[in-house]
């Protein structure tokens, strides 16, 4: 059946729209919208994607503006991983239909894979991440930048030749919103960052959506269904990943836009650095001041706090005071009392001198350091200052569930206990390479599962 009119609100397989596009299978439907797989009869029945918008009570003017914007932008784009817009038309019926014709990509959406029970490996997710970032890099570098604003598994197609395609530009933004103007909230809950709900989407907003999408692919659970802590999605306990890769995803999906990668290029470079860091993690970094001793029964790690120049100065001062400071202090004590009684010097001057000598005597090369020890029974994490201990944390070694990098620190998770899991954190003063090396040594000694 060929028709230009008489559609009403019912569209069925077999109908031909605009004397050219024959409907085959409905792929999706929402208020006033339908997406169909159709055939282009003018090109030897080549399959196409037909998006239709019905002008009626369920449609708002903003919906039409977004529909027209999608058509305009897709006509301008010429990207190998984005379906091209072939045509657009309208059908004047009792309901006015607007149509958008796009290339058909033979493949399967990542959402469908998840629904079919597929669990993607770290290697697969890394590949997807790089391919999507390369698409976003091209879009964000246009003038003006193009923001997709609705990246999620259902809008990512894995083609038969194992390439990722980004589809559905219905929420696209190609210009910054006017200050104080009205805006329409677009995006999908769970994948949309906070600033986008306020109408302030930026390039980093697409990166957040990518991060939550990767979390969905790895866990098999939609981000909206995962627990949160301080607005951060809690997902790492559900998968076993290379710590540097998990850290990288956490930064993509950070709730604070300022804490995320700001550009796709920055995210790509950081992932490449994370790969290098992970690859070299078993090697001791050059010029590291970290002391690590390992045996079958024990693993000990000492992390100096001060920098190398400060450490040398404190070491020299400690040696001097070890030979001179204590005898001088023993001599000064009786002299202090005698001269104070005779009133030869003021008490304030002697108090300052005495305090200075005491301070110097008790300074040593271990002015401040972190000491971490594991044996077969217990583990200890403590910070030492002025030969005293503070923030001492202990636990049972067999209760350790995971050791990972988290927000720039090494985190030991032990439990569960009656009051939940315990976190023991240290190492924020280490470089990325030092953290990767220390982490690898700990996980290896504990014989935790590696990826």
Is 306's pLDDT higher than 60?
no
**Which is more confidently placed, 316 or 238?**
238
* pLDDT at residue 68, rounded to an integer: 87
Is 324's pLDDT higher than 90?
no
pLDDT band at 6 (very low <50, low <70, confident <90, very high): very low
Asked if 172 and 149 count as a contact pair (C-beta separation under 8 A), the reply is yes
- Fold held by 2-103: Phosphorylase Kinase; domain 1 (3.30.200)
pLDDT band at 434 (very low <50, low <70, confident <90, very high): confident
Asked if 102 and 49 count as a contact pair (C-beta separation under 8 A), the reply is yes
* pLDDT at residue 346, rounded to an integer: 60
CATH class assigned to 107-279: mainly alpha
**Length of the chain counted residue by residue:** 451
Q: Quick one: what percent of the chain has pLDDT higher than 90?
A: 48
Q: Quick one: what percent of the chain has pLDDT higher than 70?
A: 76
* pLDDT at residue 433, rounded to an integer: 76
Asked if 200 and 221 count as a contact pair (C-beta separation under 8 A), the reply is no
The owner of tokens 């002697």 is 350
Reply yes or no on whether 57 is catalytic: no
* pLDDT at residue 33, rounded to an integer: 85
Is 318's pLDDT higher than 60?
no
Which one of 150, 168, 206, 250 is the catalytic residue? 150
Digit-coded pLDDT (tens) for 361-418: 454 444 678 999 999 999 999 987 755 557 889 999 999 998 988 777 899 999 888 8
* pLDDT at residue 4, rounded to an integer: 44
* pLDDT at residue 267, rounded to an integer: 93
Is 308's pLDDT higher than 50?
no
In what side-by-side order are the strands of the sheet with 21-30? 2-3, 16-17, 21-30, 33-40, 46-55, 96-103, 85-91
* pLDDT at residue 182, rounded to an integer: 44
* pLDDT at residue 363, rounded to an integer: 47
Is 451's pLDDT higher than 60?
no
Q: Which of 26-30, 178-182, 430-434 holds the top average pLDDT? A: 26-30
Mean of pLDDT values over 62-88: 88
* pLDDT at residue 431, rounded to an integer: 82
* pLDDT at residue 171, rounded to an integer: 83
* pLDDT at residue 128, rounded to an integer: 96
What average pLDDT does the structure give for the chain? 82
Digit-coded pLDDT (tens) for 114-155: 999 998 999 999 999 999 999 999 999 998 999 999 999 999
Q: Which range (65-69, 170-174, 231-235) has the least confidence?
A: 170-174
* pLDDT at residue 272, rounded to an integer: 81
Mean of pLDDT values over 329-345: 58
Q: Is 307 exposed, middle or buried (0-12, 13-18, 19+ CB in 10 A)?
A: exposed
- Statement: the pTM of the whole predicted model exceeds 0.85: no
Thinking of the domain 291-305+367-446, which architecture would CATH place it in? Answer: Roll (2.30)
Is 31's pLDDT higher than 60?
yes
Please state the domain extents for the chain. 2-103, 107-279, 291-305+367-446, 308-361
* pLDDT at residue 420, rounded to an integer: 84
Is 317's pLDDT higher than 60?
no
* pLDDT at residue 283, rounded to an integer: 72
């Amino acid at each position: 059946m060929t028709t230009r009119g008489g559609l009403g609100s019912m569209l069925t397989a077999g109908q031909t729209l605009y004397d050219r596009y024959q409907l085959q299978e409905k792929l999706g439907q929402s208020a006033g919208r339908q997406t169909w797989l159709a055939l282009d009869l003018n090109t030897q029945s080549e399959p196409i994607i037909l998006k239709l918008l019905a002008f009626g009570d369920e449609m708002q003017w903003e919906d039409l503006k977004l529909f027209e914007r999608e058509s305009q932008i897709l006509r301008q784009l010429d990207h190998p991983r984005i379906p091209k817009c072939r045509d657009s038309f309208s059908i004047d019926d009792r309901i006015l239909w607007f149509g958008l014709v796009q290339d058909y990509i033979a493949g399967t959406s990542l959402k469908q894979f998840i629904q079919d029970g597929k669990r993607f490996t770290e290697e697969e997710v890394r590949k997807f991440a790089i391919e999507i970032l390369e698409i976003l890099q091209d879009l964000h570098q246009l003038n003006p930048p193009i923001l997709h604003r609705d990246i999620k598994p259902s809008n990512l197609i894995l083609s038969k030749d194992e390439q990722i395609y980004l589809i559905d530009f219905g929420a696209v933004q190609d210009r910054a919103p006017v200050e104080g103007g009205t805006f329409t909230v677009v995006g999908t809950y769970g994948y949309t960052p906070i600033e986008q709900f306020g109408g302030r989407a930026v390039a980093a907003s697409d990166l957040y959506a990518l991060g939550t999408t990767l979390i969905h692919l790895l866990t098999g659970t939609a981000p909206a269904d995962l627990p949160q802590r301080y607005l951060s999605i809690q997902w790492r306990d559900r998968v076993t990943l290379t710590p540097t890769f998990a850290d990288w995803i956490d930064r993509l999906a950070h709730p604070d836009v300022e804490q995320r990668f700001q550009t796709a290029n920055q995210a790509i470079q950081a992932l490449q650095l994370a790969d290098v860091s992970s690859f070299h993690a078993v090697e001791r970094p050059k010029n590291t001041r970290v002391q690590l001793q390992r045996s079958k029964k024990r693993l000990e790690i000492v992390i100096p706090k001060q920098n190398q120049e400060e450490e040398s100065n404190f070491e020299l001062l400690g040696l001097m005071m070890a030979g001179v400071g204590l005898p001088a202090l023993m001599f000064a004590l009786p002299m202090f009392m005698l001269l104070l009684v005779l009133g030869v010097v003021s008490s304030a001057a002697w108090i300052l001198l005495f305090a200075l000598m005491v301070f110097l005597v008790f300074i040593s090369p271990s002015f401040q350091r972190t000491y971490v020890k594991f044996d077969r029974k217990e583990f200890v994490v403590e910070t030492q200052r002025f030969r005293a201990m503070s923030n001492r944390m202990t636990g049972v070694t067999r209760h350790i569930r995971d050791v990972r990098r988290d927000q720039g620190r090494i985190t030991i998770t032990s439990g569960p206990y009656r009051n939940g899991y315990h976190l023991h954190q240290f190492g924020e003063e280490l470089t990325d390479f030092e953290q990767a090396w220390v982490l690898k040594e700990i996980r290896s000694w504990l014989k935790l599962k590696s990826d």
